[in-house]
């Protein structure tokens, strides 16, 4: 689960922007450090190389001067050594070293190629230190001459600069990644809020709204627009529900009068006549319409929560057994197996719940009745009631054809039927009434697919 969350986190556009921004920051920082290096340490190195080249070229020109003698050339070397503490000169003349080194450095390239090499320097206290020399080798008519200058910044400033640059780039990398991670987390939090809201609205919770902050940023602007849209949708749905309720209420009375009239006429008609059969069919159709109107009005009352004041302590296990007893004959007609199982967590024996007994019974019975109705002959329906300290869970499973996943939320909508031709029995109000009853008691009902069959889970929190 953690790995999946990490993958989701790193696939966001904000995280990709963070990586691009980090790369740009490192590129710019590296370029700036390179420029600083070239204008500081790099410039010092170029000046030192230029001084070595000038010194070496001067001795090369002096050695090639006409009428120059070896004595004069050696004298020039000794004079330069005595007048400068930063220069290194040594020449091998007739197997004798002249200058301020005790031996010639090995593998030193020919002028104008320069190379660093170490020497050991002994101070006036007799302590020895290693110094770095930038030098080259000249081949003169009087012997090989090594020319060099002390490069005190070779290992100090350059090393310190690269260490400081590495530290600065590492800190820039860490800071940009952490900043991007914080931004990404904040954006994901707001996006997940919107995702959760849309999921809840899709599940039928139209009263859900996005929270607004005092920042008044772009997410607050989006949240405000979504909330306003949901307010309008909620208002339209309430208007439609109110219209249907008014129609149901206004038509129920005249339909009841028509039913009474038809029922009275049946008493005066000839038994088994065509006229009587026609009236019986009409009476059945009127009863279905009246039942539909009654269900719509009851659903509206449940959605408004007008019955909470009548809640009392109810034994859920007893209700489940009563449901099985009442639904048993329906299952026997289809030769179905109807079973019940009561489970309780260790240390939890309380199966009571505060609610309206008749409504909870009706909700459970409606789900079981649907399972019996849509499960094939000789099928199996199981009711499991599980008690724990957290609440009560009632599960109804069957091995019938089930419902496709995309319709799991839709079947709880008012007047929704899986049969688009609306030729099947029922009004599309059974499961919406069940959902309204469960939500009235602070619970939830969810559907999930079995292979084969359907699983309905009713959760009631204690």
Are 55 and 105 in a shared domain? yes
Using the predicted structure, report yes or no on whether residue 215 has a pLDDT greater than 70.
yes
Section 285-295 average pLDDT: 70
Residue 409 clears pLDDT 70, i.e. is over it: yes
Q: Tokens for 271?
A: 């038994």
pLDDT tens-digit map of 329-367: 999 999 999 999 988 776 666 678 888 888 888 889 989
Tens-place pLDDT, residues 244-267: 666 666 666 777 777 777 777 767
Residue 233 falls within a domain, yes or no?
Answer: no
Same domain, 86 and 51: yes
320: confidence class by pLDDT, cuts 50, 70, 90: very high
Indicate the pLDDT class of residue 303, thresholds 50, 70 and 90: low
Residue 133, CB-side half-sphere exposure with 13 Å CA sphere: 26
345 and 378 within one domain: yes
Mean pLDDT throughout 406-419?
75
Q: Encoding tokens for residue 227?
A: 């909330």
DSSP annotation of 215: S
| C-beta atoms surrounding 28 within 10 Å | 11
Does residue 70 register a pLDDT over 50?
A: yes
User: Would you state the structure tokens that stand for residue 416, as one six-digit string?
Assistant: 């929704």
pLDDT at 458: 92
Which is higher by pLDDT, 49 or 266?
49
Instruction: Give the domain-ending residue among 303, 326, 351.
Output: 303
Residues 203-208 have a mean pLDDT of 69
Q: Are both 34 and 176 inside the same structural domain?
A: yes
pLDDT, average across residues 323-332: 91
Same domain, 267 and 340: no
Percentage of the chain surpassing pLDDT 90?
11
Q: What does the pLDDT read at residue 421?
A: 38
Domain boundary among 284, 303, 322: 303
Q: Are residues 65 and 181 in the same domain?
A: no
What is the rounded average pLDDT of the residues 289-301? 67
CB atoms within 10 A of CB 56: 22
445 and 435 in contact (C-beta within 8 Å)? yes
Going by their DSSP bridges, the two strands 337-344 and 380-387 should be labelled as parallel
In a domain, 387, yes or no: yes
Helix (H) or strand (E) holding 153: none
- Of 287, 303, 319, the position where a domain reaches its end is 303
> Between 90 and 306, where is the model more confident?
90
Q: Is the CB of residue 135 less than 8 Å from the CB of residue 141?
A: no
Cα 307 to Cα 193: distance, rounded to the nearest angstrom: 32
- Whether residue 418 lies inside any domain: the answer is yes
Q: Which of 109, 108, 118, 105 is nearest to 150 (CA)?
A: 118
pLDDT for residue 422 = 40
Q: Is the distance from CB of 371 to CB of 327 less than 8 angstroms?
A: no
pLDDT computed for residue 368 by the predictor: 93
Q: Is the pLDDT of residue 426 over 70?
A: no
Nearest to 147 by CA among 241, 49, 228, 227: 49
Q: 126 vs 172, which has greater pLDDT?
A: 172
Q: Is residue 55 part of a domain?
A: yes
For residue 372, name the pLDDT band (cuts at 50, 70, 90).
very high
Whether 195 maps to a domain, the answer reads: yes
- Is the model's pLDDT at 1 over the cut of 60? no
Give the confidence band of 398 by pLDDT, cuts at 50, 70, 90: very high
- Using CA atoms, how far apart are residues 45 and 320, in angstroms rounded to an integer? 92
Helix (H, G, I), strand (E, B) or coil at 371: helix
Query: Does residue 91 sit in the same domain as residue 146?
Result: yes
Q: Which of 89-103, 133-147, 195-209 shows the lowest per-residue confidence on average (mean pLDDT)?
A: 195-209
Highest mean pLDDT among 6-15, 62-71, 244-253, 276-285: 62-71
Which H or E element spans position 56?
helix 41-63
Lowest mean per-residue pLDDT among 25-29, 143-147, 255-259, 264-268: 264-268
Check whether residue 51 and residue 191 sit in a common domain.
Answer: no
12, 188 in Cβ contact below 8 A? yes
- 91 three-state secondary structure: strand
Residues in Cβ contact with 245 at an 8 Å cutoff, skipping those fewer than 6 apart: 296, 297, 300
Percentage of the chain beyond pLDDT 70 is: 81
- Number of other CB atoms surrounding residue 312 within 10 Å: 10
DSSP letter for each residue of 366-420: HHHHHHHHHSPTT-EEEEEEEE-SSEEEEEEEE-S----GGGTTGGGSTT--SST
The answer to the question of residue 230 being in a domain is no
| pLDDT value at residue 4 | 62
Secondary structure (3-state) at 307: coil
Is there a contact between 360 and 437 (Cβ–Cβ < 8 Å)? yes
Helix (H) or strand (E) holding 207: none
Crossing angle for the helix pair 274-303 and 430-440, to the nearest 10 degrees: 30
Res 301 pLDDT > 70:
no
Cα–Cα distance measured from residue 77 to residue 357, given in angstroms and rounded to the nearest whole number: 116
Residue 209 lies in a domain: no
**Alpha-carbon gap, residue 193 to 185, rounded angstroms:** 12
CB count within 10 Å of CB 62 equals 14
Query: Which token pair is 390?
Result: 């957290």
CA distances, 420 to each of 86, 295, 315, 401, 416 (Å): 100, 20, 39, 17, 9
SS3 track for 5-50: HHHHHHCCHHHHHHHHHHHHHHHHHHHHHHHHHHHCHHHHHHHHHH
Residue 111 sits in the same domain as residue 169: no
Domain containing residue 59:
41-155
Dump pLDDT digits (tens) for 173-205.
Answer: 888 888 888 887 777 787 788 888 877 776 666
Query: Does 435 map to a domain?
Result: yes
| Cα–Cα distance, 38 to 236 (Å, whole number) | 71
Residues 28 and 172 in one domain: yes
Q: Averaged over 111-116, what is the pLDDT?
A: 89
> In the numeric block, which tokens belong to residue 48?
């030192």
174 with 275, same domain? no
Query: Given this model, what pLDDT does residue 249 score?
Result: 66
| Of 48-57, 185-194, 216-225, 278-287, minimum mean pLDDT range | 278-287
Q: Are residues 28 and 107 in the same domain?
A: no
* Range name among 147-156, 179-188, 352-361, 419-428 with the lowest pLDDT average: 419-428
Distance between CA atoms of 7 and 389, rounded to whole angstroms? Answer: 35
What pLDDT was estimated at residue 300?
66
Average pLDDT, integer, range 12-32: 83
Q: How many domains does the chain have?
A: 4
Q: Answer whether residue 22 shows pLDDT above 90.
A: no
pTM over 0.75: no
Residues 357/315, Cβ–Cβ less than 8 Å: no
Mean pLDDT of the chain: 80
DSSP-derived secondary structure letter, 68: -
* pLDDT for position 172: 87
Q: What is the CATH number of the domain that holds 408?
A: 3.30.565.10
């Amino acid at each position: 689960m953690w790995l999946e969350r990490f993958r989701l986190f790193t696939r966001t556009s904000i995280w990709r922007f963070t990586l691009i921004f980090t790369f740009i920051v490192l590129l710019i920082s590296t370029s700036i450090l390179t420029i600083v290096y070239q204008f500081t340490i790099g410039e010092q190195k170029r000046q030192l190389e230029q001084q070595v080249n000038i010194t070496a070229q001067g001795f090369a020109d002096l050695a090639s001067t006409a009428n120059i003698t070896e004595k004069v050339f050696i004298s020039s070397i000794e004079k330069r050594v005595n007048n400068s503490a930063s220069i290194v000169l040594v020449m091998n003349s007739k197997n004798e070293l002249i200058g301020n080194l005790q031996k010639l450095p090995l593998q030193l390239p020919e002028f104008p190629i320069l190379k660093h090499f170490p020497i050991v320097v002994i101070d006036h206290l007799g302590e020895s230190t290693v110094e770095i020399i930038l030098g080259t080798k000249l081949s003169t008519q009087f012997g090989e001459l090594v020319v060099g200058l002390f490069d005190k910044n070779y290992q100090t400033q350059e090393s310190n600069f690269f260490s400081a640059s590495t530290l600065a780039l590492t800190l820039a990398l860490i800071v940009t990644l952490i900043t991007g991670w914080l931004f990404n987390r904040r954006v994901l939090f707001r996006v997940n809020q919107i995702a959760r809201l849309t999921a809840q609205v899709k599940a039928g919770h139209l009263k859900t709204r996005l929270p607004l902050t005092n920042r008044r940023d772009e997410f607050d602007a989006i949240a405000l627009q979504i909330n306003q849209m949901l307010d309008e949708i909620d208002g339209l749905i309430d208007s439609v529900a109110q219209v249907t309720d008014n129609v149901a209420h206004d038509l129920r009375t005249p339909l009841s009068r028509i039913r009474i009239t038809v029922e009275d006429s049946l008493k005066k008609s000839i038994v088994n006549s065509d006229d009587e059969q026609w009236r019986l069919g009409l009476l059945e159709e009127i009863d279905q319409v009246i039942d539909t109107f009654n269900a719509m009005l009851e659903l509206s009352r449940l959605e408004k929560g007008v019955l909470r004041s009548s809640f009392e302590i109810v034994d859920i296990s007893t209700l489940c057994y009563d449901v099985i007893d009442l639904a048993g004959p329906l299952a026997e007609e289809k030769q179905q197996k109807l079973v019940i199982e009561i489970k309780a967590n260790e240390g939890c024996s309380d199966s009571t719940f505060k609610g309206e007994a008749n409504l909870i019974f009706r909700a459970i019975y409606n789900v079981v009745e649907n399972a019996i109705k849509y499960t094939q002959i000789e099928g199996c329906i199981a009711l499991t009631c599980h008690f724990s300290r957290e609440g009560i869970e009632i599960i109804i499973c069957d091995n019938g054809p089930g419902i496709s996943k995309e319709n799991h939320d839709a079947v709880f909508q008012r007047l929704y039927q899986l049969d688009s031709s609306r030729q099947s029995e029922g009004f599309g109000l059974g499961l919406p009434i069940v959902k309204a009853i469960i939500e009235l008691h602070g619970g939830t009902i969810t559907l999930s697919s079995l292979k084969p069959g359907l699983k309905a889970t009713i959760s009631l929190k204690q």
